[in-house]
A and B are shown apart, each in its own frame.
Chain A
Amino acid sequence: MDPGHAPSVYQGAANVIAAVMLLLEFGMLRQALIRDQIRLYAAQSALISVLAIVIAADRGLPDLYALAGLSAALKVVAVPLVVRRVTGRTGRDEAPGVAGSYTLGVANSVLASIALAAVGFFCFNALGIHSPVAPATALAIAGGMILVAFGLMIVRRDVASQAIGFFSLENAISLAALVVAAGLPLILETAFLFDLLVAVVVFGMLIRAHHTRAESLSTADLTRLRG
């Protein structure tokens, strides 16, 4: 697409979806309760499926419809269920150690993440990667989202938020994959999703193990191994 042109409906839709996903990432970073983080994650994952459908319709890639369905089943339903189950068993109402597990304080965390998002956005933009398939802005937003997801894993000091941070990192990479590598064969995409499911189960088992031993999801006491 000629860069001087007004964006097509497809490009506009892709960019809007990417921007909303980035906002949801900030929501996860800021949200105190694990239940709400899981909801935001599910919403973000649903948007990935919507984007897959948009691209499938625009580019005529029928594989992506199947991918959208699979991805929704897994990331909107299965992963949130697993995480809720794991963290739900750890306390009656809210898992201990999650709320207020900021290293920096809410305002500073958000400010730092805005800076991160800006760095990611401009760096990915500076790569100058554009092709007929790839809306450059959506890719740049994915770049920002990747750094914010890393930021989330760094500023939150509890295992549940860190796990959510990793899963949303995977969402950010899926977004990048959809815009630059939409033609990736379905079998590989399916394998990625299956792999994610295995990772989620293992994360869940380790969260449980941590909670059983520490009686909290906080990582504040994970400081024994040094040097």
Chain B
Amino acid sequence: MFAVILALVFVPLAAGIISLAVPARAAAAVTVVSGLASFGLVLALVPAAAHRTLAYVSYFRVDAISAIFMLATGFLYAIVAIYSAGYVAKETEGESPSGRRRYARRFYPLFNLFGWSMLVAPMMNSLALLWIAIEVTTVISALLVALENSDAAVEAAWKYVLIASAGLGLGLLATIFAYFAGAQVLGQHYDLALNTILGAGGRLAHTPVRFAFMLAVLGYGTKVGLFPVHTWLPDAHSEAPTPVSALLSGSLLAVSFYAILRYYQIATATLGTGFPRDVLLAFGVASLLLAALYLLDQRDIKRLLAYSSVEHMGILAIGVSFGAPIALAGVMLHVLAHAAAKGNAFMGAGVLVIKFGSKQIAAQRGAMDLLPWSGPLFLLAVLALSAMPPFGIFRSEFQIVAGGLGAHGYAPAAILVILVTVAFFGLTAATTGMLFRSRRAGAPVIAAAASGAPGGRPSPAGDGHTDGGGRPEAAGPARVSMLERAAPARAITRGEPSVWMVVPAVAGIAALLILGLHPPAELTQLISRAVTQLGGTT
């Protein structure tokens, strides 16, 4: 198994380096191969991790919890790598050959390194190395967010890197206080390994552990997107290239949540379950409430999906706070199902943006007719995100609510159900219009959106970007990508932009069905081991 872990460290890293040196097509191929290989390697780890904790050379440690988060990242990295092959070709269509080369030369290496950093983070044994890996995910993804090099992309990247880095500063402080807590028991020289510190759990001093846990929730929570430190999230998700948005939402947020779970383990071992669960419940409910309300009034499809991510991260936090084994099993399944569903939703949204030349929901009409594959697939992804059966999120949220009711958390469970329903209305109200309303009604809006901002510079707020409500579209994205510039009010023909952008969405829906209908036995075993490790008790 050590060979598999080493391969996971080197394959995406090598892919990142190779794709720097080769032409765009070859870089796309290398990325696809690396994505599929990484997913295969993670799958190979699953049976072993379901039975024992794999620890090697004091730096690597893969247990059931890490394996679940790696599975989410590995799957998303693989399908989004395939999607990227189509996306990059479409995004740079109409540019000069040197422009296309430049875009591909920036995109593929960073994309692979991003996948690499997120795969490596859950394998780290030391809390310090975990922090470093997560900081690396931040700096790489900040460059990816800025990749379009438009005003809005640079703005989003700056806010992201500053807010996330400052948040991670608190995460570093959490690491230091965790070290301090351990040093009282384990001596001044130890390497902050999870094994060691979890083993010493009951003997640690309470104050530093409590402080470290709070700092970790606030610090890593910044990257998870928990209220009130979520502010970077909608900007970065909406301005990043779509494949990156999918990875950010499905994988990066989860990896940061993984860090919180590790501190949760330490905190429960030391302090008991009361305090850590209360903290997570408060952050979870606040995030869910904020996201549900923002989902009701979004005009930009990618921001809509970004707020849906805040919603789902809130659900994860609430699920952990319930503490019942079935709720924790639901949380673990939710990590996987959310990765697949949100990845799919972003990939579908990316196709719609390319098709209609705008991110504005009002400009996207009749997608069901125009996109014979992506339209229905996007609809399925949104239904899956809204926890409709038979998809994985239905099963996971059902388990979380059942766990909450079983653990006598009636009020939080009721709040969860109500807010998830509100979010459902927000999501479906926006997307049904995009998919089913006829194009005629939306046509003038497309013309306005396309002509409002020639030349890629943002137009001043309110210069005609108005929608039906007459509100100036200052809230909308001022960034106008190459796609949007190249989109006059043209006749939109029926057909898919690229087969590369459809195949991964089919794979995502298949995964959601498997998770919802009948998760494989190995996965069930992995999840139940993770639940034991999280100390599932009522």
User: Which A residues contact B (CB, under 8 angstroms)?
Assistant: 127-129, 131, 133-134, 146, 150, 153, 159, 162-163, 166, 169-170, 173, 176-177, 180-185, 188, 191-192, 195, 198-199, 202-203, 205-206, 209-210, 213-214, 219, 222, 224-227
Inter-chain contact B162/A225, CB cutoff 8 Å: no
- Distance between B105 CB and nearest chain A CB, rounded to angstroms: 15
B467 interfacial contact with A, CB 8 Å: no
Inter-chain contact B166/A226, CB cutoff 8 Å: no
Q: Which of B199-249 contact A (CB under 8 A)?
A: 207-208, 211, 234-235, 238-239
B397 interfacial contact with A, CB 8 Å: no
With A166-B166, A181-B176 already in contact, the answer to whether A159 and B143 are too (CB < 8 A) is no
Inter-chain contact A176/B173, CB cutoff 8 Å: yes
Distance in angstroms between the alpha carbons of A199 and B479 in the assembled complex? 25
Inter-chain contact B188/A146, CB cutoff 8 Å: no
Contacts of A227 in B (CB 8 A): 234, 294, 297-299, 303, 475
With A169-B166, A227-B298 already in contact, the answer to whether A192 and B132 are too (CB < 8 A) is yes
Contacts of A177 in B (CB 8 A): 172, 176
Q: Which of B171-213 contact A (CB under 8 A)?
A: 172-173, 176-177, 179-180, 183-184, 187-192, 207-208, 211
Contacts of B479 in A (CB 8 A): 224
Residue of B nearest to A134 (CB): B180
Contacts of A173 in B (CB 8 A): 169, 172-173, 176
B435 interfacial contact with A, CB 8 Å: no
Residue of B nearest to A211 (CB): B154
Interface string of B466-501 (1 = CB under 8 A from A): 000000001101110000000000000000000000
The 8 Å CB contact of B158, one of A185, A195, A206, is A206
B369 interfacial contact with A, CB 8 Å: no
With A176-B176, A209-B149 already in contact, the answer to whether A226 and B143 are too (CB < 8 A) is no
Instruction: Give the most central of B135, B143, B154, B297: most A CB within 10 Å.
Output: B154
- Distance between A156 CB and nearest chain B CB, rounded to angstroms: 11
Inter-chain contact A202/B142, CB cutoff 8 Å: yes
- Distance between B208 CB and nearest chain A CB, rounded to angstroms: 6
What are 12 pairs between A and B in contact, CB < 8 Å?
A133-B183, A163-B162, A176-B173, A183-B183, A205-B146, A206-B158, A213-B154, A222-B159, A224-B152, A226-B474, A227-B298, A227-B303
Contacts of A182 in B (CB 8 A): 188
Inter-chain contact A188/B207, CB cutoff 8 Å: no
- Distance between A82 CB and nearest chain B CB, rounded to angstroms: 14
Inter-chain contact B211/A184, CB cutoff 8 Å: no
Distance in angstroms between the alpha carbons of A209 and B143 in the assembled complex? 11
Contacts of A185 in B (CB 8 A): 189, 191
Interface string of B290-334 (1 = CB under 8 A from A): 000010011100010000000000000000000000000000000
Distance in angstroms between the alpha carbons of A70 and B126 in the assembled complex? 22
Inter-chain contact B161/A202, CB cutoff 8 Å: yes
Top 4 A-B residue pairs of the complex, sorted by shortest distance between their CB atoms: A183-B188, A227-B475, A225-B235, A224-B478
Distance in angstroms between the alpha carbons of A84 and B362 in the assembled complex? 45
The 8 Å CB contact of A166, one of B169, B189, B461, is B169
B156 interfacial contact with A, CB 8 Å: yes
Residue of A nearest to B474 (CB): A226
B40 interfacial contact with A, CB 8 Å: no
- Distance between B194 CB and nearest chain A CB, rounded to angstroms: 14
Distance in angstroms between the alpha carbons of A188 and B280 in the assembled complex? 29
B151 interfacial contact with A, CB 8 Å: yes
With A131-B180, A206-B146, A225-B159 already in contact, the answer to whether A184 and B169 are too (CB < 8 A) is no
The 8 Å CB contact of A199, one of B135, B297, B475, is B135
B91 interfacial contact with A, CB 8 Å: no
Inter-chain contact B161/A129, CB cutoff 8 Å: no
If A166-B169, A213-B149, A224-B477 are given as contacts, then 10 extra A-B residue pairs at C-beta distance below 8 Å, sorted by A number, are A129-B180, A129-B208, A133-B188, A176-B173, A181-B176, A195-B136, A206-B146, A206-B158, A210-B154, A227-B303
Inter-chain contact A206/B191, CB cutoff 8 Å: no
User: Which B residues contact A (CB, under 8 angstroms)?
Assistant: 126, 128-129, 132, 135-136, 138-139, 142-143, 146, 149, 151-152, 154-159, 161-162, 165-166, 169, 172-173, 176-177, 179-180, 183-184, 187-192, 207-208, 211, 234-235, 238-239, 294, 297-299, 303, 458, 461, 474-475, 477-479
Inter-chain contact B191/A181, CB cutoff 8 Å: no
Distance in angstroms between the alpha carbons of A104 and B162 in the assembled complex? 20
Residue of A nearest to B183 (CB): A183
Distance in angstroms between the alpha carbons of A13 and B208 in the assembled complex? 25
Inter-chain contact B166/A225, CB cutoff 8 Å: no
The 8 Å CB contact of A209, one of B135, B146, B191, B235, is B146
Contacts of A133 in B (CB 8 A): 183, 188
- Distance between B295 CB and nearest chain A CB, rounded to angstroms: 12
- Distance between B224 CB and nearest chain A CB, rounded to angstroms: 19
Contacts of A206 in B (CB 8 A): 142, 146, 154, 157-158, 161
Inter-chain contact B177/A188, CB cutoff 8 Å: no
- Distance between B124 CB and nearest chain A CB, rounded to angstroms: 11
Distance in angstroms between the alpha carbons of A184 and B191 in the assembled complex? 7
- Distance between A45 CB and nearest chain B CB, rounded to angstroms: 16
With A129-B208, A150-B166 already in contact, the answer to whether A205 and B143 are too (CB < 8 A) is yes
Inter-chain contact A146/B173, CB cutoff 8 Å: yes
Distance in angstroms between the alpha carbons of A184 and B180 in the assembled complex? 9
Distance in angstroms between the alpha carbons of A191 and B136 in the assembled complex? 11
- Distance between B9 CB and nearest chain A CB, rounded to angstroms: 15
Distance in angstroms between the alpha carbons of A163 and B151 in the assembled complex? 19
Distance in angstroms between the alpha carbons of A199 and B132 in the assembled complex? 11
Contacts of A181 in B (CB 8 A): 176, 179-180, 183
Residue of B nearest to A182 (CB): B188
Contacts of B128 in A (CB 8 A): 184, 188, 191-192
Contacts of A226 in B (CB 8 A): 474-475
Contacts of A219 in B (CB 8 A): 158
Distance in angstroms between the alpha carbons of A176 and B174 in the assembled complex? 11
Contacts of A162 in B (CB 8 A): 162
Contacts of B152 in A (CB 8 A): 224-225
- Distance between B313 CB and nearest chain A CB, rounded to angstroms: 19
Distance in angstroms between the alpha carbons of A182 and B190 in the assembled complex? 11
Inter-chain contact A191/B161, CB cutoff 8 Å: no
Contacts of A192 in B (CB 8 A): 128, 132, 172
- Distance between B247 CB and nearest chain A CB, rounded to angstroms: 18
Inter-chain contact B179/A184, CB cutoff 8 Å: yes
Contacts of A129 in B (CB 8 A): 177, 180, 207-208, 211
Distance in angstroms between the alpha carbons of A95 and B192 in the assembled complex? 42
Distance in angstroms between the alpha carbons of A105 and B471 in the assembled complex? 34
Inter-chain contact B188/A169, CB cutoff 8 Å: no
Distance in angstroms between the alpha carbons of A226 and B152 in the assembled complex? 11
Inter-chain contact A199/B165, CB cutoff 8 Å: yes
